[in-house]
Structure 1
Amino acid sequence: MTAPSRRTGGSPAPAAPGAPTTPAAPVAPEHEALRGLLGAWALRACRPDEAAELERHLADCPDCAEEGERLRRAAARLTKADPLDQPDGLRQQVLEFCLARRAPEHPLPVWAAPYAAETARLDALLRDLGPQEWRELAELPWHGGTLRLDPAEVLCHLAAVDSLLAAPLGLPDPLAEQDRVPPQGGGAPVPEQPRTADELPPPAPGRGYPHARVLQRTEQLILDQAGADPQQVRRRWRGQSQALLRAVGPAAAGRSVDYGFASVPLHDAFVDRAFETWIHAEDVARAVDYPYAVPSSGHLRQMVDLAVRMLPLVLAGQRQGAAAGAATGAAEVRVLRLVIEGPAAGEWLVPLDGTAPPGPPAEWTVPPVAELVMDGVEFCQLAAAHRDPEQLPVGQYGDRASIRALLAAVPLLSRP
């Protein structure tokens, strides 16, 4: 009797002449699972235990070994010496194929998925940066001015604000005094107070200055990380973002995040952090001349929806500031229809005067005083104060004053 073959894939060994034929054995599920790792293995993106198990399999499976070698040769084209944008988006296609073949290790609610995607995309960008590119200054416009930070400082800013999500998820605050590492070499102590009023950009109309806490935490983390290797800063930021995602559970949606000037539901805070991660990743990409794609359509639509839901607060603040000291009559109920085109396509009704009609928007019967049509990506860029509202290509119908007021209000959603 001959020993059984150790092959787990490919064609069966030929039967001896005259031997009875038997149906081919089905492919083992373990074989298909390991074969699904080949793309990630070719890019050296497998976990060490996965890579070791797959390589043991390759020693016994010529078909998988051949396919793995072919993928490794293709992946070898994706080197740092090559242009960052491969012909026809080859690099992005390979990465998307690998990600699509693997189920998520930690399933996420729909509102956390944009943050997971945008932090992963930014991490991929940062891994491509060379020493000189880490020294480039990125410009981060917002409605109060422009911050100029190198990529490591941008990560400190993102990590400082992201860390506000830690407490609602039951995690320690990474910037708490007991968790901080003092700067090497006896650097200057971290200031206990934010910048003085004359050093801060002007406040938004009628809102005071809401951003002092964000700037204080950013300055603290930049000082803590001064002189650190940029890749170390990247690993700290990436580790924090992954810890936040791992801590998301079924009960998390009912919690809120204290931004200092407002308490935001945790599910909205995750979308907000995805939005800022994307915008600042583009700021870094622009500084180093790196091609960077927009978020997926579903994630982009969540970002648009959050910005639209926040707009009435900004519009109400503007109206209160303009009417300060003046007697006001009965509240007028006016709404504007915002039509978003492109990958985030949809329609929203925006209350213009701080008073919304009763019931959910689907039940509102108040006729819109105006309609504004614009692209979803351009709307998000305007919300980040990266576009001039006077220069945007938009379709507008009805009350032009209401449209101008809304376009002027959208950039006030931006923060440093």
Structure 2
Amino acid sequence: MTGPMEQGEPTPDDENTPRIPSPRAAGDDLAGGGRGGSGTFVPGPREGNRFTAPEPEPHASMDPEPHSVPEPDPEPQAAPEPEATVHEPAPPEAHADPPSHTVLKSLLGAWALAACSAEETDAVEAHLTECAPCADEALRLRDAVGLLHTERSLDLDPMLRSRVLENCLGRRPARIPVPVWAAPYDAETARLDALLNDFGDAEWHAPVRLKWFEQERRVTRRTTVAGVIGHLMAVDALVATALGLDEPVPMDPEAASAGPTARTEALWRAGQYPLTRTVREPWREQSHTLIRTVSFAGRGVAELAVPYGEFALPLQDAMLDRAFECWIHAGDIADAVDYPYEPPSGAHLHRMIDLAARVLPTTLAGRRRAGLAAPARGLVTAGSPGRSLRLEIEGVGGGDWHIPLDSPAAVASPEHEVAHVALDGVEFCRLAAGHVPPQDAAVGQLGDREAIRDVLFAAASLSRL
């Protein structure tokens, strides 16, 4: 079987392509070549996009003739296509379309947090060079992330405590340790100041009628809201001068040593503080100064005597008196501008009522000396028991007090009770302020009518301008 196959010559129809032998040719070795007839490698099975050529088997000649030497293969380089095909890389995949604007915009947040993959980061940053709105948004997001991820040392700043304290004190001043007996004055001046805060010029000139009780009759005085604040400032100055503070309004020595009424008249006549809204600031500053002074003065200051002209009060009682008058006149101002005003808290109201109850025996004795009250019954020595009236105050801040009737020095005891009076706490305070006539006070009465009348009129006599 000789022919072109035996001589290794390509047929005219496959000059450039290696011949894939047929099954018959694959088993015929008359030409002395390996599998493939002409000595060329036949491509093996396809693996992916590459062809792996099978290794050639060793030649085992089956030709008995010694002269039948197979001709050498054609130039190995004549058919490089299979070898080239074996090492040819896979064709590159087609490039995907770039992400849309919507997709890239949705990645801006992740990009700002450095949470994108490398491909997403490249795509986003390439998009930012072409889209101004997205670039602006990316800048804002990156700035926001910078606020969330500020790099700080784990060591505490040694100035941290001082900065925190400075910030807190700037927002809310340090609370002064106000004594218990000065707390009602602190509270009532603060409430009145809050009432005045929103007043316009018209409200400061609103007419106010001050009322109090003298002897057996009721007395009134017409002024304005500004005049009432001036009056409070003039009487508060009694406490200020007792503490060694400066006189808020210069006045002659006679007026300075006089009682509340003379001091008020002197301030109203003075032109230093016109009776306008300008009077609020000096009154407010004076009240704050009083609170600061008594708060840091120590315990002994509570017994310091404060002269009121005809009588004197310990400082702790004088501060209660000032709190009481501040509340009463704040109610007068609220009535003048048709504004509701609540009474003090129960604890503060109780202390004010207690002060009035403790002063009542002295006031009653003064009225008896003036012939305005019934004489004492029997001789009562200091410390001995005597007749008493039970004063029952109902409502918030209420309680029971026994008022000695015959002498301030007598000991009031339930065993010698001759009368019983019951009043509401606010009603009793209005009676003590001279805002309710004694005969009109809504009271429950039981026992000695004369003793009850004397006590009610003595309560009204506690009032003054």
Asked if TM exceeds 0.5, the reply is yes
Q: Distance in 1 between matches of 2:378 and 2:240?
A: 44
Q: State the secondary structure of the residue aligned to 2:396.
A: coil
Residues 319 and 353, structure 1, Cα contact 8 Å, conserved in 2:
no
Q: 1:217 aligns with which of 238, 259, 263?
A: 263
Residues 112 and 270, structure 1, Cα contact 8 Å, conserved in 2:
yes
Q: Distance in 1 between matches of 2:275 and 2:452?
A: 47
1:272-324 deviations in Å (ceiling 9; x for gaps)? 00000111111111111011111111111111000011100111122223399
1:195-222 deviations in Å (ceiling 9; x for gaps)? xxxxxxxxxxxxxxxx963222212222
Q: Distance in 1 between matches of 2:273 and 2:232?
A: 18
Confirm whether residue 242 of structure 1 aligns to residue 288 of structure 2. Answer: yes
**Structure-2 residue corresponding to 1:342:** 395
Confirm whether residue 368 of structure 1 aligns to residue 414 of structure 2. Answer: no
Residues 357 and 366, structure 1, Cα contact 8 Å, conserved in 2:
no
Q: 1:119 aligns with which of 189, 193, 218?
A: 189
Residues 336 and 370, structure 1, Cα contact 8 Å, conserved in 2:
yes
**Structure-2 residue corresponding to 1:106:** 176
Residues 205 and 276, structure 2, Cα contact 8 Å, conserved in 1:
no
**Structure-2 residue corresponding to 1:170:** 244
Q: Distance in 2 between matches of 1:258 and 1:240?
A: 18
1:154-192 deviations in Å (ceiling 9; x for gaps)? 111111110011133231222345xxxxxxxxxxxxx88
Report the Cα offset of residue 398 of structure 1: 1.6
Distance 1:369 1:235, change over 3 A: same
Confirm whether residue 390 of structure 1 aligns to residue 464 of structure 2. Answer: no
Q: Distance in 2 between matches of 1:299 and 1:271?
A: 9
Distance 1:398 1:31, change over 3 A: farther
Confirm whether residue 351 of structure 1 aligns to residue 404 of structure 2. Answer: yes
**Structure-2 residue corresponding to 1:137:** 207
1:117-152 deviations in Å (ceiling 9; x for gaps)? 111111111112122111111011001311111011
**Structure-2 residue corresponding to 1:161:** 235
Residues 227 and 275, structure 2, Cα contact 8 Å, conserved in 1:
no
Residues 389 and 417, structure 2, Cα contact 8 Å, conserved in 1:
yes
Report the Cα offset of residue 34 of structure 1: 11
Q: 2:226 aligns with which of 152, 159, 163?
A: 152
**Structure-1 residue corresponding to 2:362:** 313
Residues 175 and 217, structure 1, Cα contact 8 Å, conserved in 2:
no
Residues 301 and 344, structure 1, Cα contact 8 Å, conserved in 2:
yes
Q: 1:232 aligns with which of 252, 267, 278?
A: 278
Q: CA RMSD in A?
A: 3.2
Q: Which runs of structure 1 show a deviation greater than 3 angstroms over 4 or more consecutive aligned residues?
A: 28-35, 191-194, 225-229, 326-329, 355-358
Structure 1 length normalisation: TM-score?
Answer: 0.64
Residues 362 and 408, structure 2, Cα contact 8 Å, conserved in 1:
no
Q: Where does structure 1 lack aligned partners over 5 or more consecutive residues?
A: 3-12, 15-27, 38-48, 52-101, 178-190, 195-210
Q: Distance in 2 between matches of 1:245 and 1:238?
A: 11
Distance 1:334 1:356, change over 3 A: farther
Q: Distance in 1 between matches of 2:283 and 2:408?
A: 40
Report the Cα offset of residue 348 of structure 1: 0.4
Q: State the secondary structure of the residue aligned to 1:108.
A: coil
Report the Cα offset of residue 226 of structure 1: 6.5
**Structure-2 residue corresponding to 1:283:** 332
Residues 333 and 355, structure 1, Cα contact 8 Å, conserved in 2:
no
Letter aligned with residue 442 of structure 2: P
Count of aligned pairs between the two proteins: 297
Q: State the secondary structure of the residue aligned to 1:353.
A: coil
Q: 2:450 aligns with which of 401, 405, 409?
A: 401
Report the Cα offset of residue 236 of structure 1: 0.6
Letter aligned with residue 261 of structure 2: L
Q: Where does structure 2 lack aligned partners over 5 or more consecutive residues?
A: 1-112, 114-147, 150-159
Q: Distance in 1 between matches of 2:306 and 2:376?
A: 35
Moved more, 105-114 or 221-230: 221-230
Distance 1:338 1:316, change over 3 A: same
Report the Cα offset of residue 355 of structure 1: 4.4
Letter aligned with residue 265 of structure 1: P
Residues 388 and 404, structure 2, Cα contact 8 Å, conserved in 1:
yes
Q: Distance in 1 between matches of 2:372 and 2:222?
A: 35
Larger Rg: 2
Distance 1:237 1:323, change over 3 A: closer
